[in-house]
Amino acid sequence: MDGMLIDALIEAAEKRAAGEKLLDLRLGLGYTAALLDDGSAGLAFTFRRELGIQCALVEEAGTLAGRSCAELLPWAGGTNLAKAAIGLAIMNALFQGQEPVWRQGDAIQELKIEPGDTLGMIGYFKPVLERFKGVASRLYIFERNGTEEENVYPDWAANMYLPQCDVVVITATTLLNKTLDHILQLSSRAREIALIGPSAPLCPDVFRKTGITLLAGVV
């Protein structure tokens, strides 16, 4: 695939954005939520800690309602993390309700982790850890805001250990900080790759040739 995945996702979302407008927006401490004029809604993670302490995280605040989705979608590909969250939330709203019909349930149940596997997680997913800690023979958790817990490594250590993993679980927030493409390159030998979380765009066509075997988001 030429270019970054986020660019391909923006292009796919633009095809669904004709005539769509942003009705309401909430830039929250945990998540950013976008509501479109057709009633569709989408979420994206808010990197609140990385945004720092500012009076105005988005200069256009207060003027976004009523603007076209096509105008705001490109924000998802930018370096301003607040604007990127807005763009991704709008994108996720646009992808709501499209085919195929999604199977509802717990994404963790769909992960195929076998005894002896090495499991890598980009982001700390406690439910995944609790379910498979006794199954995988080796576990690597890569977390930017690290903890002192066992098997948790700084995010830069993914360069060292991801190529050893048989199964990789990736937080969709990697689309916001533009690290997903590199993570997928490091995970090229993995048998299973899951992209999960409320920030995940439900657009399987874009992810089809990336090695991702499980796409799980919020409908």
The total number of residues written for the chain in this structure: 219
Domains of the chain, start order: 5-94 (3.30.390.100), 107-216 (3.40.50.11590)
pLDDT at position 146 is 65
d(CA 111, CA 127): 12
Is 130 buried (19+), middle (13-18) or exposed (0-12) by CB count in 10 A?
A: exposed
Q: H-helix or E-strand containing 12?
A: helix 5-14
- pLDDT by position in tens, the chain (length 219): 567 999 999 999 999 999 999 999 998 889 999 999 999 999 999 987 665 555 456 777 777 899 999 999 999 999 999 999 999 999 999 999 666 667 787 877 888 889 999 999 998 877 777 877 788 899 999 988 766 778 899 999 999 999 999 999 999 999 999 999 999 999 999 999 999 999 999 999 999 989 999 999 987
Tell me the whole-structure pTM to 2 decimals: 0.90
Q: Please tell me the distance from the alpha carbon of residue 67 to that of residue 155, in angstroms, as a whole number.
A: 36
Q: How far apart are CA 31 and CA 43, in angstroms?
A: 6
Q: What is the distance of C-alpha 49 from the center of its chain?
A: 17
* pLDDT on residue 162: 98
Tell me what pLDDT residue 102 has: 73
- For the CA atoms of 17, 19, 25, 31, the dihedral, rounded to the nearest 10 degrees, stands at -10
- Other CB atoms closer than 10 Å to residue 137's CB: what's the count? 11
